[in-house]
Structure 1
Amino acid sequence: MRKIAISDIHGCAKTFKILLKEGVRLRQEDQLYLLGDYVDRGPDVKGVIDFIWELKEQNYQVHCLRGNHEAMMLEAIQGGNPLELWLANGGRATLESFGADYVEQIPRAYLDFAQSLDYVLEVDEYILVHAGLNFSSPNPLEPCEDMLWIRWWYDEIDYDWLQNRYIVHGHTPVPWQDIRQMHKKLDARRFIDIDNGCFAFFRPNLGQLCAFDLTHRQLYFQPNIEADT
């Protein structure tokens, strides 16, 4: 039984499926942890969530966290943030995926899915979170918006608090070379960003969906295939 983490799928359903099928070779006894940002930017947001549901229906063990893009979508509906902010950050792709002109036309089940997502999970010696932890907080594991949005927090890590744990996150796209360096230095630095910006296949050194096998400390990379027929 393996424990696998993936982050920032961003509507890249074909790439997600092929990564699990041909790269990870996911089995029903494995535990799959998804670290948020299923929606926006990519072409098939609906397909990503449908596939997550399909895996669960087939008795695969799938655990889903919230990302900042789910938060932006929900806030656009609830009036917390201007709709234009969400649309400008990839929300139009989500509407198009559902054939919707307005956010209210997205089927309720998908919005309920986004609303149900947790902020953080502790799995053995790993802390799984979308963006990272705020070490200026009295309790960095207290669920909060920082877990969805924070960047550039590595210099603030309290290693006395962290002890023998590791932080696995996404949110900030980094070159695949940086991911491999973080993987190589994981025991010393105790964090790894597994977001290679799958949707951004047009940018150098980005454009792959990354999976991290927590059990065997193995990385998998799948290039974006959304444009393939």
Structure 2
Amino acid sequence: MHYLFYLISPFVKALKLKTKTYIRRFAIGDIHGCYKTFKLLLEDELKITTQDVIFLVGDYIHKGPNSEKVIDYIIDLQKDGYNIFPIRGNHEENLIIKQRTYRPTFARFIAKMNTRYGKSILSKDGELYLKHKEFFKALPYRIQIEDYHIVHAGFNYEAEKPKKDFDAMLNTRKPLPEILPKMLKKRRVIHGHTPISIDKLKQSIAEQSPLINIDSGCAFFKKVTNEQANQLGFLSCFNLDTQELITIRNKDQEPQLLSTVPAYH
């Protein structure tokens, strides 16, 4: 199921996939328009093949310099036979909603942001180009595989039916309740949405946490301290089989430091 699927299939809110036949299985955190970093991770660090499967946890656009290139790269990889499965993030959802209730001021804002360093995902009239529109509309809210749930932000674990709360899947930042939900008895959750430090990410992996947040703030371009710069500004990839964490420093833009205090390692 590659590029063609996203052009001809109706919107499916959730996908259930069998993945054990793939050689390697990866999940990659929030990309946020950082095309160079994303490409370098896939081609140089992972050296992906068509025998691998890659899950993307959403938020491909905004903040970084090249939203359009990120989306086109994903589409091209699918077209070339790579098993890339992107899900919907809150930034994609917000853009879809704004397109339905078109507001010229919002469209101009998005167009300006996306053309600052590269081409836009919007036309001069503020409309998504067809290939991008079909891509966004087809993004599922979650993917379930044999041993993992993959979702953008997480689930409403206190709800009677967590898999039906789609707003929570895009926006929640709530921690786990004290009693572990039934849905986590057999599958762990891989998500992004809330940037965390590399140290916290590594700790959650080492502790075999039922929740693994792989958003390490790739597009964290706000002014930061030296300490934050050593802990944020990475695109992270989690090997679902070996539990290995692969991180790459943002190559699209360097953060502006607030302090000259020596950085720690």
Change (3 A) 1:83 1:147: farther
User: Could you say what secondary structure the match of 2:95 adopts?
Assistant: helix
Contact 1:73 1:86 in 2 (8 A): no
Q: Which residue of 2 aligns with 1:217?
A: 243
1:42-93: CA deviation from partner (whole Å, max 9, x where unpaired): 1111110111112112211111100000011111111289965995xx7752
Q: How large is the Cα RMSD of the aligned pairs?
A: 2.5
User: Could you say what secondary structure the match of 1:104 adopts?
Assistant: coil
Q: Distance in 2 between matches of 1:86 and 1:177?
A: 38
User: Could you say what secondary structure the match of 2:190 adopts?
Assistant: strand
For 1:45-60, list aligned pairs within 5 A.
45-60=67-82
Q: Distance in 2 between matches of 1:43 and 1:5?
A: 22
Q: Which residue of 2 aligns with 1:127?
A: 149
Partner AA of 2:233 in structure 1: G
Q: Which of 205, 208, 214 is 2:234 aligned to? A: 208
Change (3 A) 1:123 1:161: closer
Q: Which residue of 2 aligns with 1:176?
A: 198
Contact 1:15 1:223 in 2 (8 A): yes
Q: Is residue 2:158 matched to residue 1:136?
A: yes
Structure 1 residue ranges without an equivalent (≥5): none
Q: Which residue of 2 aligns with 1:190?
A: 210
1:186-205: CA deviation from partner (whole Å, max 9, x where unpaired): 1xx31110001101155312
User: Could you say what secondary structure the match of 1:5 adopts?
Assistant: strand
Aligned length: 224
Higher mean C-alpha deviation, range 137-146 or range 115-124: 137-146
Q: Distance in 2 between matches of 1:195 and 1:82?
A: 31
Q: Return the offset for 1:165.
A: 1.5
Q: Which of 165, 181, 185 is 1:163 aligned to? A: 185
Q: Which residue of 1 aligns with 2:32?
A: 10
Q: Which residue of 2 aligns with 1:36?
A: 58
Contact 1:5 1:32 in 2 (8 A): yes
Q: Distance in 1 between matches of 2:59 and 2:177?
A: 25
Change (3 A) 1:156 1:11: farther
Contact 1:119 1:143 in 2 (8 A): no
Q: Distance in 1 between matches of 2:95 and 2:115?
A: 10
Partner AA of 1:200 in structure 2: F
User: Could you say what secondary structure the match of 1:31 adopts?
Assistant: strand
The TM-score, its normalising length taken from structure 2, stands at 0.77
Change (3 A) 1:81 1:14: same
User: Which one has a bigger Cα radius of gyration?
Assistant: 2
Q: Which of 103, 114, 118 is 1:94 aligned to? A: 114
1:106-154: CA deviation from partner (whole Å, max 9, x where unpaired): 3122122111100011111101000000012221122511100000232
Contact 1:95 1:101 in 2 (8 A): no
- Identity percentage over the alignment? 31
